[in-house]
Amino acid sequence: MTSMPRLDSLTTGGTDHVFARVRLADGLTLVLKAAPGADVAEEVGLLPGLFAPRTEAWANEDAYEDWLTGGALGQGGGLYLDVPVQAIRDLIEQHGGEHASQELPSPVEAGDGVNAAQRAIEALAARGISADIEEDAGNSWLIVGEDAETGSHAVLCLFRGDDDETVVLRVPDPDRDDWHAATVVNGAELLPVVWPFAQLGDCVEAIAAWLAEGRLARGLKGTAPKDGSARR
């Protein structure tokens, strides 16, 4: 039996009612919610590229199966309820077990001249999440995981506290820039959340969890801007 310390840790200690990530050996990803010591995970989200086996264990698929990843049905992904932990273990084993590193890959480093858009697009792509650049009146931002039918999506940009611009098409300053993300549901932008520049991985995880949940009315979980206002 393949050793799965990440899954064992999450199912033994629980995930505290939030999604926790398991990265597979082939780079694909699943997220799950589980109570401590449970034999069945409450919810399991498969990120795009990862397909659920056609077995009874994976039969209880949530109605929000199209995760706002551009409406790209047929590319895997989905949210499944009440999945036996053994079934999750079997799926991970089919993909070579757990990845040696459970950290989100960091394809670029600060100070290398890469703009924020490329940095974020690569980090999102590592999770199987698509993003497009939008520009208007000097501002630029990323549209992330847009749903083809509802138009709901997440937005991600870079904000520098001493100006009013939200920009991703510039080389970031790690000491002055923060990542701002929000969800747009029915044309309304929900309260954005902010992460320090160095925490792009946490920002991507929040977006991935939102997509995995597929519950369109919810905003992202994170730290709200101090003034409580949206930046774009």
Encode pLDDT of 79-95 as tens digits: 899 999 999 999 999 99
For residues 163 and 148, give the distance between their C-alpha atoms in angstroms, rounded to a whole number.
Answer: 33
Q: Residues 214-219: what's their mean pLDDT?
A: 50
Average pLDDT of every residue of the chain: 78
pLDDT score at 176 = 83
Q: Residues 161-178: what's their mean pLDDT?
A: 75
Task: Give pTM, 2 decimals.
Answer: 0.51
The residues near 178 (Cβ < 8 Å, ≥ 6 apart) are 158, 159, 160, 161, 194, 195, 196, 197
Q: Domain locations in the chain?
A: 5-94, 116-213
Exposed/middle/buried for 47, CB within 10 Å: 0-12, 13-18, 19+?
Answer: buried
